[in-house]
Structure 1
Amino acid sequence: MLKTSLTLPENVTQTSASSQVCLLDPGMEDHNDRPSENLGDLIIQQAVLREMDSLFGSQNIVKLSTHAPLEETQLQMIQASSVAIVGGTNLLSSNMNHYNQWKIVLRDALRLRKRVLLLGVSWWQYQGRPNLYTLALLHLALSYKGSHSVRDNYTKKKLQSIGIRNVINTGCPTMWPLANLQPDAIPQTKATSALVMLTDYSKNIELDQKLLELATSHYETVYFWPQGAGDHDYVTSFNLPVTILERSLPALENLLKSDVSLDYIGTRLHGGIRCLLAKRRALILRIDHRATEIAQETGLPSVDRADFAFMERWIREPFMTKITLDTTAVERWRQQFRTKLA
């Protein structure tokens, strides 16, 4: 078993530390392991579990949901762990007493006692300075000894603005395998079919209809994968000729593993990243700060959702995908848990 050197809370020594590690998992809708309603969370979950299994071994990991409040049982499980890792998504905000995708409150943070490390976490959206409640919550919950992994510089600066400086911008863990991607591994020219994704919570009927019309006019077959719970009903409302996949991660995986010649174009960030991982040509349409921040730091292929002139060129003309990741930062985050093998 891989030996670990964990970032421990103040009152736990290395010799007495539990070997149990807690994952606070956005891919779980509740503490009973029911999958998240947003299948993009499951794409993030896959990446987080890849890292956790590599560092700790799956038998040492207990999983709790970030979507559900912590009750006494869950708090005791975290306290019995040597470290708790929050695995991804944009669950930090400037007003966590009003909007908290990570369902903890101040009294929970008091019990966490600086035990939590972040892995690929980002800010919910562009916001003002974090309020005092958020400052107190994060200072109580987050470790000040270990290094926190965030997926963009905006989040890093937000945390540093409230005095949390032990932060590394590693990019999103879903993208880490792309560090080894050769530019010629992904086709540069238009495929025969397209995979389109839309976002149920960020609808723009005019632009989304124009996107579907663009895709159906340029590709022989247009597939649609409903990542969110409302995506299926939304796309059917346009009454355009698209082939709708089952709303499951295996349905997406099966299409990507098939021999269908396929481009991705859509507003779902992690759906698009999953297509890149499958060596499919992909263009992510920016609907919020997440793709904007990640793209400007990594070269993730993206464009504003209203820039149809660029989309036309991307479809018609050769386009080279070149992703740049800070692998040194990724290794710094991993290395805090490792000891050299004898």
Structure 2
Amino acid sequence: MRHLHLIDTSIGSDNVGDEIIMSEIKSHLLPLISDAYVTTSAGHDGLGVYSRDLAGKADLVLLLGTNALRHQYRVGKKYIWYVDRKDISAIEGKVVLFGVGANRDFEKIERRQLAFLQRVLAPNFVHAVRDETGARIVEACGLKSVNTSCPTLWAAPRVKVDPAKRPGAVCFTLTKHKADPLDQQMLDQMLDLYEDVYFWPQQPRDLEYLRTLNNQGRVKVLPPNLSAYDAFLSSTEVDVVGTRLHGSIRGLHHGRRVLAIAIDNRARDIGAEVSLPTLPRSEMHKLAERLNGDLTCELSLPKEKIDLFLDQFKSS
């Protein structure tokens, strides 16, 4: 009997985007491991007394999603993937990356971080990363990886609405911890273009940030949970725009026109690699032109790489 331990990066997270990632990853993974004994722990909180024992007994430990790859050494420090020093022996040589990206650009990986990753990552498995920045980290460890893009895109349908026809409403997102004066320009342009402007807070602090912008009183705020967001997207003809990558990607799953505003390596890399409609925030002056134009989304996903990665988990 196979025993797989899943590190779930949506547990203990204040970012609903992690929930979006996890729901998609599990939709692809769980059918492949229906014969296995599956245990779970929280990525943000790390291994506790019980889950450390479970991970130690597991055949594999799968780190699921989000931007958990980092070039800096974070063992014993608060991070998306929290690892205590006493956890290392439990996960040594067992960790397989499933749709994991890099949290930021870098020039060099710290020596201690490289040694840590080489110790815990499974040497005989191909790891799935979601961007080329993440691939660079895995390759620096001397391990094999495939850039499968983000698992949230693997089953995303083509846009169902007319990609050249702008609807009368838009739903946008903001990122408080990467605020910029250009965000005000984004809001102002959307208020000029659309009759109805909605805001979805992917994190609570994003709503706090919205309250600091001019004209925010004209914005309709949606409940900050995934069920409400899905219900809105499925019932409302709306464009989905903003700096929250997975808030935009969720719009694709409901057949909406989307435009991700790239504020870091994630949207930049993923957009360039699979043709997800993106706009660098530095080019915010082009926003109205893009929204008035054709937002066709023909994703060019690396199906062979995705299949190569997933086939590793099929029952023999």
TM-score range, shorter chain: over 0.9
**Candidates 181, 192, 203, aligned match of 1:217:** 192
Report the alpha carbon displacement of residue 174 of structure 1 after superposing the two structures with TM. Answer: 0.5
Report the alpha carbon displacement of residue 58 of structure 1 after superposing the two structures with TM. Answer: 9.2
CA contact (8 A) 1:129 1:158 kept: no
**Candidates 243, 257, 262, aligned match of 2:234:** 257
Aligned to 1:95: 72
Report the alpha carbon displacement of residue 63 of structure 1 after superposing the two structures with TM. Answer: 1.6
Report the alpha carbon displacement of residue 251 of structure 1 after superposing the two structures with TM. Answer: 1.3
Q: 1:80 is aligned with what amino acid?
A: K
Q: 2:310 is aligned with what amino acid?
A: R
Do structure 1's residue 63 and structure 2's residue 46 form an aligned pair? Answer: no
Do structure 1's residue 313 and structure 2's residue 313 form an aligned pair? Answer: no
What do residues 5-37 of structure 1 show as CA deviations (whole Å, max 9, x unaligned)?
Answer: xxxxxxxxxxxxx433211011101xxxxxx21
Do structure 1's residue 134 and structure 2's residue 113 form an aligned pair? Answer: yes
Report the alpha carbon displacement of residue 231 of structure 1 after superposing the two structures with TM. Answer: 1.1
From the superposition, tell whether residues 87 and 261 of structure 1 become closer, same or farther in structure 2 (CA, over 3 Å).
Answer: same
**1:115-130 to 2 correspondences below 5 Å:** 115-130=94-109
Aligned to 1:198: 174
CA contact (8 A) 1:152 1:293 kept: yes
Q: 1:148 is aligned with what amino acid?
A: H
What do residues 131-189 of structure 1 show as CA deviations (whole Å, max 9, x unaligned)?
Answer: 2211121111110011110001221122212322x2111111001013xx446666332
CA contact (8 A) 2:20 2:152 kept: yes
What do residues 240-291 of structure 1 show as CA deviations (whole Å, max 9, x unaligned)?
Answer: 2000011111110110110x22001110000001101111000000111100
Counterpart-to-counterpart distance in 1, 2:195 and 2:161:
23
Aligned to 1:12: none
Structure 1 unaligned segments of length 5 or more: list them: 1-17, 30-35
CA contact (8 A) 2:248 2:260 kept: yes
SS of equivalent residue, structure 2 residue 139: helix
What do residues 39-65 of structure 1 show as CA deviations (whole Å, max 9, x unaligned)?
Answer: 101101111211222111398322211
Report the alpha carbon displacement of residue 309 of structure 1 after superposing the two structures with TM. Answer: 3.5
SS of equivalent residue, structure 1 residue 41: helix
Aligned to 2:148: 170
From the superposition, tell whether residues 308 and 71 of structure 1 become closer, same or farther in structure 2 (CA, over 3 Å).
Answer: closer
Report the alpha carbon displacement of residue 301 of structure 1 after superposing the two structures with TM. Answer: 0.6
CA contact (8 A) 1:24 1:87 kept: yes
Q: 1:329 is aligned with what amino acid?
A: K
Q: Output the TM-score relative to the length of structure 2.
A: 0.93
Aligned to 2:203: 228
Aligned to 1:10: none
Do structure 1's residue 336 and structure 2's residue 312 form an aligned pair? Answer: yes
Report the alpha carbon displacement of residue 82 of structure 1 after superposing the two structures with TM. Answer: 2.0
CA contact (8 A) 2:92 2:119 kept: yes
Q: Output the TM-score relative to the length of structure 1.
A: 0.86
CA contact (8 A) 1:193 1:221 kept: yes
Counterpart-to-counterpart distance in 2, 1:234 and 1:221:
20
**Superposition RMSD in Å:** 1.8
Counterpart-to-counterpart distance in 1, 2:314 and 2:46:
31
Aligned to 1:157: 136
**Candidates 46, 50, 55, aligned match of 2:27:** 50
Aligned to 2:254: 278
Q: Across the two proteins, how many residue pairs are aligned to each other?
A: 312
SS of equivalent residue, structure 2 residue 68: strand
**1:14-33 to 2 correspondences below 5 Å:** 18-29=1-12
Q: 1:126 is aligned with what amino acid?
A: D
Structure 2 unaligned segments of length 5 or more: list them: none
SS of equivalent residue, structure 1 residue 230: helix
CA contact (8 A) 2:63 2:98 kept: yes
Q: 1:78 is aligned with what amino acid?
A: A
SS of equivalent residue, structure 1 residue 216: helix
CA contact (8 A) 1:92 1:100 kept: no
From the superposition, tell whether residues 182 and 224 of structure 1 become closer, same or farther in structure 2 (CA, over 3 Å).
Answer: closer
Counterpart-to-counterpart distance in 2, 1:63 and 1:292:
31
Q: 2:200 is aligned with what amino acid?
A: W
From the superposition, tell whether residues 278 and 183 of structure 1 become closer, same or farther in structure 2 (CA, over 3 Å).
Answer: closer
